[in-house]
Amino acid sequence: MANSEIRSSTGNTIGSEFQVFLSFRDLDSRHGFTSSLYHTLVDAGIHVFIDDEELRPGERICGNLLQAINVSKLYIPIFSKNYASSHWCLRKLAKMVENTSKFKEDEKKVILPIFYDVNPYDVKLKIMLYGKAISKLKQEMEDQKKFSSKDVETWCQALKEVGGTKGWELEKYSG
């Protein structure tokens, strides 16, 4: 599909403004909680961007995805057990954090995290679940040079910042 034709499931082209950007780890929540949240928001008339492609190792956020992140007003990262094991999810999270700190008050962007079957302390790297995932990413960095130590440091800071934000804690979703 050509860049100008990429659409979210709402039918909006990337050039139009999205209100919400959903970030999630496909393995953990795509067909349950994330899908229900997405459809509830769309049914309420909210323009939602949902990204369902993974970046290949070494790829940067650019083009339509970057534009969707930049134009969205609200970011909803859905932290789950495998979220931190995806450098792709972490790159998007770091971009969301960057955007919330650089825009003027009248262009304020907000991150509302959902902790799906994880503890906010995991996300803040205070207990082991996400800490182990970051350690594995550091090993990948050393072995395969997929990303830099600065990238990993930025991702850790983003996790700590958003993990400290009041959000919603959910146990397993039963539909």
- Tell me the pLDDT of the chain (175 aa) as tens digits: 333 233 344 444 444 588 999 999 876 665 678 889 999 999 999 999 987 655 455 555 667 788 899 999 999 999 999 999 998 899 999 999 999 987 666 678 999 999 998 999 999 998 889 999 999 988 887 777 778 889 999 999 999 999 999 999 987 655 5
| Helix, coil or strand: residue 171 | coil
Residues pairing with 111 in the sheet: 75
Closest CA to 147 of 69, 90, 77, 62: 90
Say if strands 48-50 and 110-111 run parallel, antiparallel, or are unpaired: unpaired
Closest CA to 65 of 83, 44, 89, 86: 89
Q: Is residue 37 part of a domain?
A: yes
Q: Is residue 98 part of a domain?
A: yes
pTM of the model: 0.82
Tokens matching residue 136: 């594995």
Q: Is residue 157 part of a domain?
A: yes
CATH number for the domain that contains residue 77: 3.40.50.10140
Q: Is residue 175 part of a domain?
A: no
How far apart are the C-alpha atoms of 35 and 50, rounded to whole Å? 10
Where b means 16+ CB within 10 Å and e means fewer, 106-139 reads eeebebebbbbbbebebbbbeeebbeebbeebee
Q: Is residue 26 part of a domain?
A: yes
Residue 19: which domain range? Answer: 3-170
Q: Is residue 25 part of a domain?
A: yes
Count the domains in the chain: 1
139 contacts 175 by C-beta, under 8 angstroms: no
Q: Is residue 92 part of a domain?
A: yes
Q: Is residue 20 part of a domain?
A: yes
